[in-house]
Structure 1
């Protein structure tokens, strides 16, 4: 199995590296400055922000889970489209910038 990772601290811990080694996973490292073109990341950010704004969500794991479930159910198709509908534009900008920074 090949895993692409960006050198984030969670990916470089001794525990993580040890687990990957035991599982026979090969790492393909890319610079952390590369733009994230995964549309789900935009939705995770939306979910994270909504949950963070939910009073009491951080009081317990149960409250956090309930807040996340409620927030996910409340996200509309229009919101999803607003966050993912510009992917072709994002890819074009990244290509024009030859993989470097864009406004995204």
Structure 2
């Protein structure tokens, strides 16, 4: 991975065993990737959730996408390829607001 203009790289992962294992930890250390601590099961603090929702909506709105596994895969690839950096940034750019909302709500539900 290439550092972008001196920015620190963070990784947000769920608590799945592959993410907690020794091998994953060693790779993160080797690459200089810091892991962002967050509460388990917190979609408010996980910008990938709305990105997956955006992708799913694109796939399911594709005529014939649910016809077969092959059609679903083709629709998924097309939807993913059509996503732009701006689509992604719409969600990742809101992280400061998300953190502030979760803090204000003392960890309870937020509008996100």
Q: With the length of structure 2 as denominator, give the TM-score of the two structures.
A: 0.62
- The aligned residue for residue 62 of structure 1 is 70
- Give the 5 Å matches for 1:1-104: 4=15, 34-104=42-112
Structure 2 CA distance for partners of 1:96 and 1:48, relative to 1, 3 Å: same
Pairwise CA RMSD? 2.1
Structure 2 CA distance for partners of 1:35 and 1:66, relative to 1, 3 Å: closer
Which ranges in structure 2 are unaligned for 5 or more consecutive residues? 1-13, 18-38
Aligned length: 78
Would you say the 8 A contact 2:43–2:49 is kept in 1?
no
Which structure is higher in strand share? 1
Which ranges in structure 1 are unaligned for 5 or more consecutive residues? 6-19, 21-29
Structure 2 CA distance for partners of 1:98 and 1:35, relative to 1, 3 Å: farther
4+ runs deviating over 2 angstroms: none
Separation in 1 of the partners of 2:85 and 2:40?
33
Q: With the length of structure 1 as denominator, give the TM-score of the two structures.
A: 0.66
